[in-house]
C-alpha cells in the first residue's frame, strides 16, 4: 500500500483564494484593508527568506504588509519602542516579530510586549492561555495549519490516538491542545520519552516536530496512519523533514511532503489570522 499525499501547497492556495474574496468584501463593506507589520532584527538569511515569503503572500491576498528592518545590535528597548508604536497604529492589525532574535534580546519580553489583539503568530501568553481554556483568540499558525491538513484527509479525528513528537511552545504543545479539542486521545513525546518507537507505532495520527532530519523511519509508523511532518532542516542546501518520506509513504495512509506540506499552510494561517485581527479590531 502507498499513502495519499496531503498537498499543503494546493490547500494553502485554496485558503488564499477564499481569503482574497473575504478581504475584498471587508474593503467594500467596511473600508478596512488588513495590515500586517513584520519586524525583522538582523541579517539571518533564513529569516530574510521567511519574511520575503510572508510579504509576497500578503500581496497575493490583498493584505497591506509593512516590514520593519532593525540592526542586529539594536538595544532591546528600541525594539520594544517599535512594538509599542505598532500596537497603537490603527493601520496595523497584526504584528509579527520574526524569530529567532539575537541572543542579547529576551524573546519572552518581546512577545509579551505585543498587544494580544494583534498577536497573529499566537505566541503571547494570553493567546496561549486562551487556547488552553478554549477561548476564541488566535490559534498559532503552524498548529492551525496542521489541523487543517489533517481535516483535508476527510478522516475523523475524534477518538483517534494522536501522538505528537515535540513539545515546543510554537508547535508541539499548542497542536496537542488543539487535537485534544478535536477529541483525539493525545500522547506528547519529547527527548526524554522512553519507548518512542512503540508509542509512535500506536498512533493513528502522528505529528513529528523534532527538527531532527529523517530520524523517523517506517518502523515508527502504523499501517494506514496520518503522518504530518513538521520538521524543516536545511541539509546541504535542501529542506529535509523529520520523516524518511520514501519509506513512510509505503506504509502511511496519508502523509505530508517537505517542502510543500506544513510550510505553505503556516503562511496561509498567518494571513487568516491577520484578516481575523482586522475584522475584530474595528
Q: List residues bridging with 239 in a β-sheet.
A: 234
Closest to 54 (Cα-Cα) out of 35, 74, 73: 35
Spatial distance between the Cα atoms of 112 and 231, rounded to a whole number of angstroms: 26
Distance between CA atoms of residues 81 and 278, nearest Å: 22
Q: Any catalytic annotation for residue 54?
A: yes
Answer whether 158's CB lies under 8 Å from 182's CB. Answer: yes
Residue written as grid cell 478535536: 182
Using the minimum distance from each CB to ligand NAP, give the nearer residue, 167 or 281. Answer: 167
Residue 169 has what DSSP assignment?
Answer: T
Give the nearer residue to ligand NAP in terms of CB position, either 19 or 146: 146
Q: Do the strands 161-165 and 185-189 form a parallel or antiparallel pair, or are they unpaired?
A: parallel
From 119, 121, 204, 242, active-site residue: 121
The answer to whether residue 121 is catalytic is: yes
CA angle 233, 230, 276 (to 5 degrees): 120
Strands, DSSP E only, in 109-160?
none
Q: How many residues does the chain have?
A: 282
Shortest distance (Å) from residue 59 CB to ligand NAP: 19
Nearer to ligand NAP (CB atom), residue 117 or residue 266:
266
Measured CA to CA, the distance from residue 186 to residue 130 in angstroms comes to: 19
* Beta-bridge partner residues of 66: 37
Minimum Å distance from CB 89 to ligand NAP?
Answer: 27
Q: Which is nearer to ligand NAP, 2 or 198 (CB)?
A: 198
Active site residue 20: no
> 150, 168 in Cβ contact below 8 A?
no
- The minimum distance between CB 31 and ligand NAP, in angstroms, equals 33
Residues at the contact surface with ligand NAP, assessed by CB under 6 A: 142, 165-168, 170-172, 189-193, 196, 209-212, 230-233, 262-263, 266
For ligand NAP, the closer CB: 82 or 229:
229
- Put residue 236 in one of left, alpha, beta given phi > 0 → left and psi -120 to 50 → alpha: left
- Write down the least CB distance from residue 251 to ligand NAP, Å: 20
Q: Of the listed 16, 54, 173, 244, which one is catalytic? A: 54
Quote the least distance from Cβ 205 to ligand NAP, whole Å: 17
Residue nearest to ligand NAP (CB): 168
Catalytic (active-site) positions: 54, 98, 121
Amino acid at each position: 500500500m502507498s499513502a495519499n499525499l496531503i498537498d499543503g501547497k494546493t490547500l494553502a492556495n485554496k485558503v488564499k483564494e477564499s481569503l482574497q474574496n473575504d478581504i475584498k468584501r471587508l474593503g467594500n463593506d467596511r473600508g478596512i484593508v488588513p495590515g500586517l507589520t513584520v519586524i525583522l532584527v538582523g541579517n539571518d538569511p533564513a529569516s530574510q527568506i521567511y519574511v520575503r515569503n510572508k510579504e509576497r503572500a500578503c500581496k497575493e491576498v490583498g493584505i497591506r504588509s509593512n516590514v520593519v528592518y532593525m540592526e542586529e545590535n539594536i538595544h532591546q528597548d528600541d525594539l520594544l519602542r517599535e512594538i509599542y508604536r505598532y500596537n497603537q497604529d490603527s493601520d496595523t492589525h497584526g504584528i509579527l516579530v520574526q524569530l529567532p532574535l539575537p541572543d542579547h534580546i529576551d524573546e519572552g519580553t518581546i512577545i509579551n510586549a505585543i498587544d494580544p489583539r494583534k498577536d497573529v503568530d499566537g505566541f503571547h501568553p494570553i493567546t496561549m492561555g486562551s487556547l488552553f481554556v478554549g477561548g476564541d483568540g488566535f490559534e498559532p499558525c503552524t498548529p492551525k495549519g496542521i489541523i487543517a491538513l489533517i481535516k483535508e484527509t476527510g478522516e475523523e479525528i475524534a477518538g483517534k490516538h494522536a501522538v505528537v513528537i515535540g513539545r515546543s511552545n510554537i508547535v508541539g504543545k499548542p497542536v496537542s491542545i488543539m487535537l485534544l479539542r478535536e477529541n483525539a486521545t493525545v500522547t506528547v513525546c519529547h527527548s526524554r520519552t522512553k519507548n518512542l518507537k512503540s508509542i509512535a507505532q500506536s498512533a493513528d495520527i502522528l505529528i513529528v516536530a523534532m527538527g531532527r532530519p529523517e530520524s523517523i523511519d517506517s518502523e515508527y509508523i502504523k499501517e494506514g496512519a496520518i503522518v504530518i511532518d513538521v520538521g524543516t532542516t536545511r541539509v546541504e542546501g535542501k529542506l529535509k523533514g523529520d520523516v524518511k518520506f520514501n519509506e513512510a509513504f509505503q506504509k502511511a495512509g496519508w502523509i505530508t511532503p517537505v517542502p510543500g506540506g506544513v510550510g505553505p499552510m503556516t503562511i496561509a494561517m498567518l494571513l487568516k489570522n491577520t484578516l481575523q485581527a482586522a475584522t475584530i479590531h474595528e
